[in-house]
Amino acid sequence: MLSALFHWLDLHPGTYWVLVAAATVPVIARLGQMIGRDARNPGTTPPGISWLDALGLFLFLLAWRWPFLLVSYDYNPDESQLIAGALTLNRDPVFWRSVDGGSSGPLNYYLLVPWHWLGAPLDYFTARLTCLLLTWGALLACLRTLARNFGRTAAWLSIMPAAAFFATVTQPELTNLSTEQLPTLLIALSFGLLADRTPSDRWRLWTACLAAGALPWAKLQSAPIGLVLLGWGWWQVWFAPGPAASLRWRRTAEITLAAALPTLFFAGLAAATGQAEAAWIRFVLQNVSYTATGTSPAGIDALLSLWRNAWADGSFPLFLAVVAAGLVAATVAMMVRRERPSLLMVAAAVVALAALVAVITPRRDYLHYVLLLPIPLTLWFGVALGGWWRELQTPRRRAALAGMVLAAALLPLAQRSLEGQAPVYGGFSHHWKYPRSNVAAVVHALAGRDDTLGTWGWACALHVECALPQATRDGTTALSIDANPHQAYHRAVYLADLQSSRPPVFVDAVGPGAFVFTDRERQAHESFPELAAFIRQNYTLVLEQLDARIYARNDLPAIRDLTPDRLQQLVMQGRDPEKFLMSLTPEALATVQRKFIGPRKVALLPPAARVEWPLDAGMSAVALEFGCDPVAGPDRGSDAAFTLEVVDPTATRPIFQRVLDPARQAGDRDLQHAQVVLPAFAPGSVLVLRTDPARNGLYLASLKLQRPPMPPP
């Protein structure tokens, strides 16, 4: 049934725009109605929101984002690491004993566990649905906060830029479940409670500071934001009218304790379960080391690189431009009225500044860091706009302001509409048919449903695609592979975990084409002698791929069924990796520009490009994905030749050529796939990729050298 539905969707891309219109038009119409009523009769909009507001906002986000929920691979390795950790916590709920979250705190992992309680699978669908729900919750909290302070109309106008951004963004790093979504919800909830205009009662301040104190345990990077929110809580206690000094001290102690409760809980959990040392090294010292090894002392290089990444996508800069223009206009209007900034506006501005500090502090250019900014900026923008809206009492001025804000806020919708159909359309059936990679297909056939999986390298996606918990607390062994002050500690713990769990399958995910770790000579499990001895004594090599080697435990009954034909069948049942993946990483590709085209990260090839891959004995075929950059234009991108050759010491043999003509052939505008059988070649031969010297606009999405599966011994 689902297969038929996905096939139908692939053939009817117009359904996406029908659903988008069905959810977007009512939201805009309802907002237009509120604007008209509020402009004619200032103050008639109720200071709050209804269930219709919540439902309309959720359907608006869902209508634009739902296709991305159905993609069967991770958009970012952090996404699969979160899911793999949640799978493992279902087996052993003690954090740091069963799962090391790396730079992420335990709350991000525990967040996914309830899906298991509900009987739902922990996979990319439920993870991205969680992402959508967290985004909706954060925006809803902003809407409620601003509506209670400035009325529903101003609140809706204020959140529309962020809502449009979150709805229409297609950049993979900004659409997957990342470690920033839960912090944004906690920020919105804490700010909303602190901004409540009701008297400074204890439960409100207590809950707000509890949410602020939980921020570091979702993402330690967000600690500056939590400190600012806690400071605001202290300010409210000390400057609230009425209470005596003794009562102020008591309430200060109460909210400080509330903020400290998450820390006390997780510290107590670590101590009670014997994981105090692990928590200290893994969550504190490694995060400090992570920050200390950034790109530059001031983080300027990372910030510039981060901006370039954001600019290449365009969605976040557009949101930033709309909010910045609104803030400038509201500030100018406030200066004309000779009005001082309100406490709420100052607080929102300081929270936004703290969020910027949090983005910069790691000194890295990961685009998903910017997800910490939209909610604080929305609150700042909302407070500024709300104050301006409240001062305007004539219908014409209110209507003009609302029209300008709404037109600017809806620019992302127009931009997204001009991009054409959702990039997932045309691939629904493919994702349904191939839910696993070729390596995951073999692992899934070997391991039982109650087993665990051991991995070396960075291959958390295997845990997700096979629904197998981690055999070790390390979802990724980066800290055991890369030199660092605690490498010996991480290696010892990893080996002890592996020896204790003895998983039926072990995957060494190091090799050409693997994620991050591509050098088998220096980074494979053999680089850790004690681990190599354990694997050699207890496991049998079942399958060797360029990007991974699969080992089965010697006593595993499933080994007997793995004939060469069966292995080949399993490999063919899996899909090739869906992201930017090269079998090797030639120096010639190190300097080329990379960008996202749809959900794929590709390498843009200049005219007359020449890239070589050495050919090893046993390589039998090459699979590649390529195409023309849509923004290259029909003139610059037409008649572009894409050629593969096998070059040996004596001859050059063309084995593949494709001329793309996107200006006249509609089929040439999409991603192209090819699989080419390699001819017999002499030692020292290389595979050469060439592009047309007179044309640009070609890109390479993936190139994977293949060899037949290795039969079991």
Q: Residue 581 pLDDT > 80, yes or no?
A: no
Q: Enter the pTM of the model.
A: 0.82
| Model confidence pLDDT, tens digit, residues 143-185 | 999 999 998 999 999 999 999 999 999 888 899 999 999 999 9
pLDDT of residue 579: 37
Tokens of residue 709, six digits: 């599966």
Lookup: tokens for 600? 């794929």
Q: How many CB atoms lie within 10 A of CB 286?
A: 20
State the Cα–Cα distance between residues 258 and 263, nearest whole angstrom. 10
Nearest-angstrom CA–CA distance, 59 and 38? 24
Residue 552 pLDDT greater than 80, yes or no = yes
User: Can you tell me the mean pLDDT for 18-45?
Assistant: 85
- Range of weakest confidence among 206-210, 429-433, 666-670: 666-670
Instruction: Please give the Cα distance from 155 to 159 (Å, whole number).
Output: 6
CA 150 to chain centre: 33
State pLDDT tens for residues 477-522. 999 999 888 999 999 999 999 999 999 999 999 987 788 888 888 9
Percentage of residues in the chain with pLDDT exceeding 70?
90
Task: Please state, in angstroms and as integers, the Cα–Cα distance from residue 648 to each residue in 330, 576, 589, 644, 703, following that order.
Answer: 68, 28, 21, 13, 20
Q: Give one DSSP letter per residue of 34-91, joined into a string.
A: HHHHHHHSTT-S-SS--HHHHHHHHHHHHHHHGGGGG-SS-SSHHHHHHHHHHHHHHH
Report pLDDT for 200.
59
Higher pLDDT: 135 or 635? It is 135
Strand partners, 649: none
- Whether residue 360 contacts residue 302, with contact meaning beta carbons closer than 8 Å, is answered with yes
Q: Is the pLDDT of residue 590 over 60?
A: no
**Contact between 551 and 505 (Cβ < 8 Å):** yes
pLDDT at 637 (0 to 100): 41
Which is it for strands 610-614 and 698-706: parallel, antiparallel or unpaired?
A: unpaired
In Å, how far are 221, 477, 562 from 103, measured between CA atoms? Answer: 8, 14, 39
Structure token digits, residue 581 = 């993946």
CA distances to 91, 113, 467 from 117, rounded to whole Å, are: 12, 7, 15
Predicted pLDDT at 80: 95
Q: Which amino acid is at 543?
A: L
According to DSSP H, which parts of 447-546 are helical?
460-466, 478-481, 487-501, 520-523, 529-538
Question: Is 575 in contact with 438 (CB distance < 8 Å)?
Answer: yes
CA distance 173 to 371: 10
Backbone angles phi, psi at 706, to 5 degrees: -120, 155
Contact between 609 and 688 under an 8 Å Cβ cutoff? The reply is: no
Tokens representing 312? 């290449």
pLDDT (tens digit per residue) in 313-369: 778 999 999 999 999 999 998 888 888 888 999 999 999 999 999 998 888 878 899
Top-confidence residue, 121 or 606? 121
What gap in Å lies between CA 586 and CA 392, rounded to an integer? 62
How high is the pLDDT of residue 55? 96
Distance CA 446, CA 444 (A): 5
Backbone angles phi, psi at 106, to 5 degrees: -65, -30
| Residues 501/471, Cβ–Cβ less than 8 Å | yes
Give the pLDDT of residue 707.
Answer: 65
Residue 432: the pLDDT is 83
Report the mean per-residue pLDDT for the chain.
86
Residue 585 has pLDDT above 50, yes or no: no
- Of the two residues 674 and 233, the one the predictor is more confident about is 233
710 versus 564: the higher-pLDDT residue is 564
Q: Range with the lowest mean pLDDT among 237-251, 415-429, 578-592?
A: 578-592
Helix axes 343-360, 300-313, angle to 10 degrees: 100
